[in-house]
Amino acid sequence: MDAVVKFTSQSQGRDRIFRATQYACALSKYLLQNNADRKDLVAKLKSLETNMSAGRKLFRLGNTINSIEAAKRTMQLSDRVLCLCLTVANINRALYFICDNVLWARSVGLIRNIDKERWSLNASRCYFLSLVMNLIRDVYVVLQLMMQRARDKHFRQKMDQHISECPEVAEVVIPQLDAFLFLLLESLKSHPAVALDTLKNFCDLFIPLDRLGIYQSNAGVVGFCGLISSLIGIVTLVQPKLRIKP
């Protein structure tokens, strides 16, 4: 109970609950939209989804400053690849929140003379670039982990034993590919924080891809991916050890 109270008392915790609810509604609405007997439920889900989205915009009002501060910290990283990826990601995230704040101000009537569609597209572009840079960071970290594992003598013996015990796989699949996949899976298994962050960013990527028209999916795919990434976000907030660093 203490963990629940601590989680919900954080603005990030409330935002992630709202986000999970928003995308759960979007997914449920998509699955029920062709059911004539559930029109009232679909309408309620649509209304709840809208309210969750509006509530999240309010929670994110201070996130621009947080992203700028995060960019200042990542600029100090000694690893140049991590420094570049995370700094660019945080700057684009800050720009995304600025656009999001402007859209919120328009929705409550504080600002009127702006092009809502243009600002929404700019927000999606910044969000997309931030996710791409985070995914590049994830791939870079995974490759580093794989190189470390590959240099380990005991792990190489384990990998050779795995391939020798699966001759039928080696006959069908290129042995080097089988070794690569084994190395990849073992590296991710030993570092769940990296695996979760990669999966989260990959799922999130479908949201701006669909919004920008780069890869058209449907509301069901967007809702499902958004729900999965939201649940991962909740897990990493409850269990900080599962959060990737830096």
Across residues 132-151, what is the average pLDDT?
A: 94
Distance CA 134, CA 208 (A): 14
Out of 84-93, 144-153, 194-203, 210-219, which region has the weakest mean confidence (pLDDT)?
Answer: 144-153
The pLDDT tens digits of the residues spanning 152-172 come to: 877 777 766 766 666 554 444
Domain span including residue 180? 2-242
HSE (side-chain half, CA atoms, 13 Å) at 48: 19
pTM comes to 0.89
* Number of domain units in the chain: 1
Q: Say if residues 14 and 237 touch (Cβ distance below 8 Å).
A: no
The pLDDT tens digits of the residues spanning 63-105 come to: 899 999 999 999 999 999 999 999 999 999 999 999 999 998 9
Report the amino acid identity of residue 40: D
Mapped onto helix, strand or coil, the DSSP state of residue 36 is helix
Better pLDDT: 105 or 7: 105
What's the confidence (pLDDT) of residue 62?
83
